[in-house]
């Protein structure tokens, strides 16, 4: 009888945890330094023109369905320029309009550039959704056009995960 009661308590606890376990948002932001691939001016036949890199700029990339992975989520759901030319993320609020996703704002701590990878570096907001940001410096992504030609090459300075449940 005691074993039966203990088993009942364990099963009830498992059921309660399964029901009460929150489902977090899959939304991710990457605060990145990017360079846009451009075609050399005055090239007579665009398809044969060599590409050159333009000056770098800072951008925010929004991934609605989870973080960057090598075999999925290659292109962000939305991407927006935050500062052109590139400006540091640290020590000031940066803002941008991120298409249909909403208004973006970030506050990265002034000394965050010197943090170790994965250390908490600040916060961000997209619309009403709040994010916590971590030092990155390694994640990279390339945005491609409809012809699969690279347009933007970016390296994430910070990665921000939604705290919304």
Sign of the CA dihedral with 142 first, then 143, 145, and 150 last: negative
Query: Is the predicted pLDDT of residue 12 greater than 60, yes or no?
Result: no
Q: Which of 30-44, 68-82, 101-115 has the highest mean pLDDT?
A: 101-115
Query: Minimal CA–CA distance to 55: which of 83, 76, 80?
Result: 83
Query: Is the predicted pLDDT of residue 103 greater than 90, yes or no?
Result: yes
Average pLDDT, the chain: 79
Alpha carbons 96 and 59: distance in angstroms, whole number: 9
pLDDT at 45: 56
Contact 104, 81 (CB under 8 A): no
**Range scoring the smallest mean pLDDT among 23-27, 42-46, 153-157:** 42-46
Give the residue-averaged pLDDT of 138-150: 82
The Cα-based distances of 55 to 3, 75, 121, 126, 152 in angstroms read: 70, 21, 26, 26, 11
Query: Minimal CA–CA distance to 48: which of 39, 56, 59, 57?
Result: 39
């Amino acid at each position: 009888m005691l074993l039966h009661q203990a088993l009942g308590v364990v099963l009830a606890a498992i059921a309660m945890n399964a029901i009460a376990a929150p489902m977090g948002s899959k939304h991710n932001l990457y605060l990145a330094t990017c360079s846009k691939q451009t075609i050399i001016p005055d090239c007579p036949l665009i398809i044969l023109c060599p590409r050159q890199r333009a000056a770098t700029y800072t951008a925010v990339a929004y991934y609605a369905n989870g973080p960057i992975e090598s075999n999925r989520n290659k292109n962000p759901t939305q991407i927006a320029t935050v500062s052109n030319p590139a400006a540091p993320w640290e020590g000031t609020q940066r803002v941008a309009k991120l298409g249909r996703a909403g208004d973006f704002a970030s506050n990265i701590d002034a000394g965050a550039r010197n943090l170790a990878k994965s250390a908490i570096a600040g916060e961000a907001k997209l619309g009403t959704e709040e994010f916590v940001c971590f030092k990155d410096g390694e994640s990279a992504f390339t945005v491609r056009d409809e012809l699969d030609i690279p347009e933007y090459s970016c390296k994430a300075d910070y990665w921000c995960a939604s705290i919304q449940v």
